[in-house]
Structure 1
Amino acid sequence: MSPVPCLLSSAARSFGLSCPAAGLLCCRLRGPGSGTRRNMSSKRQMDHLERTASNTRQNALYPAQVCGIINESETVKRLRLAVDPDFSFKAGQWVDFFIPGVETVGGFSMCSSPGLLQREGVVELAVKYTKHPPADWVHTTCTVGSEVAMRVGGDFFFDPSPSDPSVDLLLVAGGVGINPLYSILLHTSDLLHINRMCFFICVCCSTQREAVIDVLIFTLRYQNSITEVCREFPDKFSCDFYVTQPSTDVDLNLQPFLSRGRITEEELRAHVDPQRTLCFLCGPPPMIEAISKTLMDFGLPKDRILFEKWW
């Protein structure tokens, strides 16, 4: 199956989302926003706890039990975890993931919304296969009923309140960096359902090279969810999916949203307002650095570019 980047763009006041030539997901929301700028080094040899040592963490460690496992693709599994009633998180945050018998602590972003936690007492994590012990455990040993423990952390989140000033929120993700931004997207959809706020949202997904096989099928599930949101809130959301390697394997349900080719810098520039845009980036360090530079070249102040790097 070929890579299917996606772009959600709205007309008039809605979000238009664009991505430069790197593989990424972009989401732009108009509405109140909050977040904390985070800088991280690019030392791949550091483990999760070392890389995130300076990040805010909750003090409590909560037990959790795996209640569902979904094979999103050959390389990505989605875990559904039933958690303690006192467990809470903000859209965009991650967890320290403790596995009995595994010394290394994992670090995985939530790919579900706080609303799902409130409704069902469940959180979801999407884990790409690597030889890193926690990811390897998820793919080779974890079963329904497996017990783990989790601690929430991260200064990269979207948790708006009605009193926050209005901003245009631009989200850009590469690879599994899609997870926290998808959580944010679902959270904004929940907010629309309860009429707490008004958002105009645009999302773009793109993959390239080695990310294609790992992320494509997983991203397609997100795309189907995104198009459902678009149909439910046509005045708030719209979308286009960009196919960089055309194929007949693209889901027919996505054809109405399909565009050919790669999203350009010019398309991204059209949706950056230096006075209003607040950008969240999540993905591999080279992508973060390239997109940050591009945004600053567009005139977006450095302190309005928030990022989290994942390896």
Structure 2
Amino acid sequence: MADEHVVRFEPVGIEIKAAEDETVLDAAFRQGISLMHGCREGQCSACKAFVLDGDVQMGRYSTFALADYESDEGYILMCRAHAYGDLEIELENYDEDMIRSGLPVVTAQTTIASVTELTHDIVHVRLALDEPSAFRFHPGQYIDIAVPGTDVSRSFSMACANQADGILDLIIKKYPGGLFSEKLANELKVGDALTVTGPYGAFTLRVSSDRRLVFVAGGAGMSALLALLRQMADSGSDREVVYYYGARNEADLIMTTEIAALAEALPNFTYVPCLSESWPEDWPATFPGGATGLVTEVLLEREPNLRACDVYLCGPPPMIDAALPVLEGLGVPTDQVFYDKFTITAATD
């Protein structure tokens, strides 16, 4: 068994034990401590932190996520850092309430309950947990699915808010030649077993805030935001929320029945589908607030006072990368912006 060391996180004063053969981030997950993170592969900088004291060694990572000069100064990526002695780490980005409400990461067995094609490249998959009580999550988090016949996994956000029914809802984008996509298209079927690990992710609703909510998503980014909306509906929330969803054309709009039901359940909810192509002349009046243009363009046009809002972004890197400068330019404080950006690995799934 690998040697274990104490890792202390400041300024929150939380301590964990980390074995030398696991990353600091994985050690935290194992003990139910939910630190800020993103790709978990050294490709983003969400888990960047500063080593105050101790011996740490880093696995391979992208210098786009952690520049050489930052590493020289003592910064690390916790998803790639291994403790080789007791450590004291200063967290760069953290939410103390989220950290302390973390759930232990576990591995669970599931069975494919249904597979429904939503568009030409997006599918709705429902997984039934073999032991529902053994797997807990917060709405907005994601799971890893072990790709059958391989030693790799792929990450997918959950669209569900209620874990009592034992069903994990997933909205998955299929990629030509993608490892899991090909399995899903050609091999996997209802009744097949899949192993999942989780929950992961810090993309959860900050319920302590009463600010107006602005949700922005594109493609399969619908999944995590649908979970947050369902959470709000389940709790009887009357908080104001507007949801901008970007798609190319009418055929790419997904989960419209579910969104319409949420509009009935949430008294202060507005849905704004944004089509980068033109709206069809016979578009039904279900969502009269629809707009033409890229979702980030519509957001900039319609939301001049985002500084007073909490903004949640979920979707592919181009959408997130386009939205973040818009928010910065509008003066939105960084602690009011939350995003779940699909990583390159996920995008080449």
Counterpart Cα distance in 2 of 1:185 and 1:205: 13
**Distance verdict in 2 for CA 1:217–1:81, change over 3 Å:** farther
Matched, 1:205 2:251: no
SS in 2 for 1:151: strand
Alignment partners' CA distance in 1, 2:340 and 2:287: 32
Query: Aligned partners of 2:36 and 2:309: how far apart in 1?
Result: 14
Q: 1:241 to 1:96 in 2, by over 3 A?
A: closer
Q: 1:62 is matched with which residue? A: 108
Q: How much does 1:69 deviate?
A: 1.2
Cα distance, 1:137 vs. partner?
1.1
Cα distance change of structure 1 residues 253 and 200 upon mapping to structure 2, 3 Å threshold: same
- Equivalent residue runs for 1:158-237 within 5 Å: 158-160=204-206, 164-192=208-236, 197-208=237-248, 217=251, 219-220=253-254, 222-233=255-266, 235-237=267-269
- The one-letter code sitting in structure 2 at the alignment partner of 1:87 is F
> Structure 2: which amino acid aligns with 1:157?
F
Whole-Å separation in 2 of the counterparts to 1:70 and 1:158 = 26
Which of 139, 148, 158 in structure 2 is aligned with 1:110?
158
Question: Contact 1:178 / 1:282 at 8 angstroms: preserved in 2?
Answer: yes
- Describe the superposition over 1:118-146 as per-residue Cα deviations: whole angstroms up to 9, x where unpaired: 1x221111222122212221222111110
CA distance in 2, matches of 1:284, 1:278: 20
Q: Aligned residue for 2:193?
A: 147
The answer (yes or no) to whether the contact 1:37–1:307 under 8 Å persists in 2 is no
Offset, 1:106: 1.1
What displacement does 1:62 show?
0.4
CA contact (8 A) 2:146 2:153 kept: yes
Aligned mates of 2:299, 2:337 — CA distance in 1: 17
Rounded to whole Å, the distance in 1 between the matches of 2:147 and 2:113 is: 15
Structure 2 unaligned residues grouped into runs of 5+: 1-33, 46-60, 62-76, 81-98
Cα contact 1:109–1:180 (8 A) shared by 2:
yes
Q: Percent identity?
A: 19
Q: Is the 8 A contact 1:240 1:259 kept in 2?
A: yes
Matched position secondary structure for 2:151: strand
Higher CA-based Rg: 2
Deviation at 1:242, TM superposition (A): 3.9
Q: 1:282 aligns with which of 314, 319, 341?
A: 314
Residue 296 (structure 1) aligned to one of 315, 328, 349:
328
Which residue number in structure 1 is paired with residue 74 of structure 2? Answer: none
Instruction: Point out where structure 1 has 5 or more consecutive residues left out of the alignment.
Output: 1-34
The alpha-carbon deviation at position 232 of structure 1 amounts to: 3.9
Q: Work out whether residues 275 and 293 of structure 2, in 8 Å CA contact, stay in contact via their aligned partners in 1.
A: yes
Q: Is the 8 A contact 2:37 2:201 kept in 1?
A: yes
Q: Tell me which amino acid in the other structure corresponds to 1:129.
A: K
Structure 1 residues 250, 75: CA separation in 2 closer, same or farther (over 3 Å shift)?
Answer: farther
Report how far residue 52 of structure 1 moved: 9.9
* Partner residue, 2:172: 127
Give the CA deviation at 1:255. 6.2
Secondary structure, counterpart of 1:177 in structure 2: helix
Q: For CA contacts below 8 A with separation 6 or more, give which structure has more relative contact order.
A: 1
How many angstroms apart in 2 are the aligned matches of 1:306 and 1:244? 24
Change (3 A) 1:89 1:290: same
Shift of 1:93: 0.9
Measured in 1, the distance between the counterparts of 2:271 and 2:324 equals 24
So what's the TM-score if we normalise by structure 1? 0.69
Q: For this pair of structures, how many residues does the alignment match?
A: 252
- In 1, Cα distance between equivalents of 2:78 and 2:226: 21
Note closer, same or farther for the CA distance 1:218–1:191 as it changes in structure 2 (3 Å cut). farther
Measured after TM superposition, the shift of residue 70 of structure 1 is: 0.9
CA–CA separation in structure 2 for the residues paired with 1:203 and 1:59: 30
Going from structure 1 to structure 2, the CA distance change for 1:289 and 1:258 (only over 3 Å counts) comes to closer
Asked whether the equivalents of residues 300 and 326 of structure 2 are also in contact (C-alpha less than 8 Å), the reply is: no
Residues 271/191 of structure 1: CA separation in 2 closer, same or farther (3 Å cut): farther
Aligned residue for 2:169, secondary structure, equals: strand
1:57–1:283: structure 2 CA closer, same or farther, 3 Å change rule?
farther
Contact kept? 1:202, 1:239, Cα under 8 Å: yes
State the distance in 2 between where 1:52 and 1:219 align: 37
**Residue 250 of structure 1: how far off its partner (Å):** 5.7
Rounded Cα–Cα distance in structure 2 between residues aligned with 1:240 and 1:132 = 31
Residues 240, 257 of structure 1: 8 Å contact kept: yes
Matching residue's letter, 2:187: T
Paired residues of 1:200 and 1:236 also in contact (CA < 8 A): yes
